[in-house]
Structure 1
């Protein structure tokens, strides 16, 4: 983690009204970003992870450019406004960006807020419908210029297959080979893919969507990927629901799929291919986390959870492929 006192001194000279900065407070130190609150200006600072990014291509400046383009699109979800981008190491030793701090809070699956966990079934059902609408609505957006040419589903799957091999998981790579033996169905023209379309990446204000955050895995591609990723949280015959989706009132799998079709204006036919691909993506990320810990590249104790859960995720992917007959 960076030295917050050093950062505060540097940012006082760099940012407009920087003399109002009182201190820098660490919020999260993850494998794709380090996030800090700039007190006094009430802004958010994002840096690359000190230990190096888990995922290839996690570029903190690219994230800022995505936020900038989304902010110019009237049809896009609300995102924080970018205040400053520094793409050189001369100020903080690494590239970084500063953005506004929006009101609201994310629904934490591990430590769920009382207003959500203890609220009514109707409230949770409404939260679910808004979650689906936020990501299904992306299917109607034209691709972002900053993200470049659309990525075919097969190309994206090959990227995660290579990632699985790098993470020392040949069994997972073999499952991707089985998936890639079948062409990926398309729902229509390419659209915007968030890449991490989970409940926790939405800021909620008084039970309403305030903003959609964390676009670092975004790409232009097949919108069924957004839906396929969302479904890992819901119970199916292959896996349990995550903790939040076990609460009463939360929509179930078939309801989410039907609502996604209604809002996106697309058919979910052929969804199983994309659902398997997204499960494989999750498994590949978990495999790399486990590999980082086993190889000594990281001593983060959170990665022991990755190691314990890896076989479960690979087993789920294999069960889904076997059932699909790929």
Structure 2
């Protein structure tokens, strides 16, 4: 949906030379970069880093927070420098961590890595959040989250449905009303847990090397709430770029965490939260084809749960 900033190779090379204080810099794009940032491996004779360029410093400052708070127990890359390239583009230079993203592994490699992946998730979920108030995504400087309650955070994308494009909602009004009713019931079944949620767990935000988690990336959506929200990944289970990875994660989590009280209702709720939030964002961008896919996927998830 066009979230990455415009960029050209000259901008990247000039910035890399400046940050590494060298005229001789090797630059190569990473194999799988994020949806909102450009990412490069940049290397001089003295050091090797990861240079990311996005629209703002918001996510990068959250990455710095994660390294400072969790870096001793979870592999979060060290941030060397954050800055503004211009009013529409920001950059972040961090240490380079070798590895492949979870979604780029073969099915056999994903299976091998999953115990380590969810050991890391368990450490994050039990992280100290006592000094952060509220629920949902939070600002690392103010230590304040956006919502007063967990249920308020969960209800937000459904509340926004009233303002969705009526040209899109009108032909789907019956199914949409049923979906929102189902979602409201599920929200009421979710406990108000206060743990650390990564917010975009798995797939392209985990680097794996030799079956171990080498780095946990992209903390922009880190939140306070029920850590099981990270496990709710079935929404993406039919999306080709991550389908194999997500399906294997879902099956593993079912076996490992399935006896947690209310597990299936909570996972379905968090999957639908992701879907409704995605529909709203797509409609705001005029991406009706993607909104159609997300809506169909939400209906499929509800049907599968019956």
Aligned to 2:274: 282
Q: Say whether the 8 Å CA contact 1:70–1:77 is kept in structure 2.
A: no
5+ residue gaps, structure 1: 50-59, 236-240, 262-267, 297-302
Q: Match for 1:85 among 75, 82, 87? A: 82
Cα 1:173/1:156, change in 2 over 3 Å: farther
Question: Which residue matches 2:113?
Answer: 127
Q: Which region of structure 1 is more displaced relative to structure 2, 213-222 or 17-26?
A: 17-26
Structure 2-normalised TM-score? 0.72
Partner in structure 2 of residue 57 of structure 1: none
Which of 53, 60, 85 aligns to 1:47? It is 53
For residues 25 and 105 of structure 1, the distance between their equivalents in structure 2, rounded to whole angstroms, comes to 13
Distance across 2 between alignment mates of 1:283 and 1:100: 33
How far apart, CA to CA, are the structure 2 residues paired with 1:199 and 1:291? 24
Query: Within the alignment, does 1:272 sit opposite 2:258 as a pair?
Result: no
Do the aligned residues in 2 keep the contact of 1:88 with 1:94 (CA within 8 Å)? yes
Q: Whole-Å Cα distance in 2 between the matches of residues 224 and 271 of structure 1?
A: 8
Kept in 1, the 8 Å contact 2:117–2:212? The answer is: no
Partner residue in 1 for 2:137: none
Check conservation: 2:179, 2:299, Cα contact below 8 A: no
Structure 2 CA distance for aligned equivalents of residues 161 and 129 of structure 1: 34
The corresponding residue for 2:254 is 254
| SS in structure 2 of the partner of residue 95 of structure 1 | strand
Indicate whether 1:35 and 2:32 are aligned: no
The number of residues matched between the two structures is 276
2:179 alignment partner in structure 1: 175
Q: 1:242: how far off?
A: 3.3
Q: 1:163 to 1:29 in 2, by over 3 A?
A: farther
- Are the counterparts in 2 of residues 231 and 253 from structure 1 also a CA contact under 8 Å? no
Aligned to 1:315: 299
Q: Deviations over 1:29-84 (max 9, x none)?
A: 754222233243532222225xxxxxxxxxx4222222222222355421111111
For the residues of structure 1 that align with 2:51 and 2:101, how far apart are their CA atoms? 18
Kept in 1: contact 2:197–2:223 (CA 8 A): yes
More strand, by proportion: 2
Distance change (3 Å), C-alpha of 1:277 and 1:205: same
Q: Do the aligned partners of 1:125 and 1:250 also contact (CA within 8 Å) in 2?
A: no
User: Could you list the per-position Cα deviations for residues 128-179 of structure 1 after superposition, in whole angstroms to 9, with x for gaps in the alignment?
Assistant: 2222222222221112751524853322222322555566465557634543
What CA deviation, in whole Å up to 9, does each residue of 1:18-38 have, x standing for no partner?
Answer: 434344647667542222332
1:150 and 1:221 in contact (8 A); partners too: no
Match of 2:65 among 59, 63, 69: 69
Aligned-residue CA RMSD (Å): 3.7
Deviations, residues 273-312 of structure 1 (Å, cap 9, x unaligned): 432232223323542575467x37xxxxxx95x3563343
List gaps (5 residues or longer) in structure 2. Answer: 1-5, 133-139
Q: Give the TM-score normalised by the residue count of structure 1.
A: 0.68
Distance 1:29 1:244 in 2: 16
Q: State the partner residue of 2:92.
A: 97
Structure 1 contact 225–278 (Cα < 8 Å) conserved: yes
The answer as to whether partners of 2:78 and 2:94 remain within 8 angstroms in 1 is: yes
